[in-house]
Amino acid sequence: MEQGHDFDFSFSALELEAIRTAADAAGLAPDDYVEVLSESLLAASRITDACMEISGGLLEDATYVLDEVTDHVRLGDGPDSLPTLVRSLLARMETAK
């Protein structure tokens, strides 16, 4: 495999064979397959990081609501209540206590 990209991979013979097989099945050249695979793994990592950040924020908000303001917030259904996801998190946190 040529190293025409900014990647510096060294693959074992077994890994090279697996890459060639997967690239052939995908209809791509091995270099293109490695590039696409790398980009998809990077995208998946970024999506995971973003989801973890959102999840952390929701958990912090739910903890705040549970600990600080439960007497001011409607926890039931209705237009003035919390979003379903936050209510679900609160219920799980309450069960875990």
Task: List the single range of 22-26, 59-63, 72-76, 89-93 with lowest mean pLDDT.
Answer: 72-76
pLDDT at 82 over 90: no
pLDDT digits (tens, 9 = 90+) for 10-67: 788 999 999 999 999 999 999 999 999 999 999 999 999 999 998 888 888 777 777 7
pTM of this structure = 0.57
Question: CA-CA distance, 22 to 86, in Å (whole number)?
Answer: 42
Q: Exposed (0-12), middle (13-18) or buried (19+): which is 4, by Cβ within 10 Å?
A: exposed
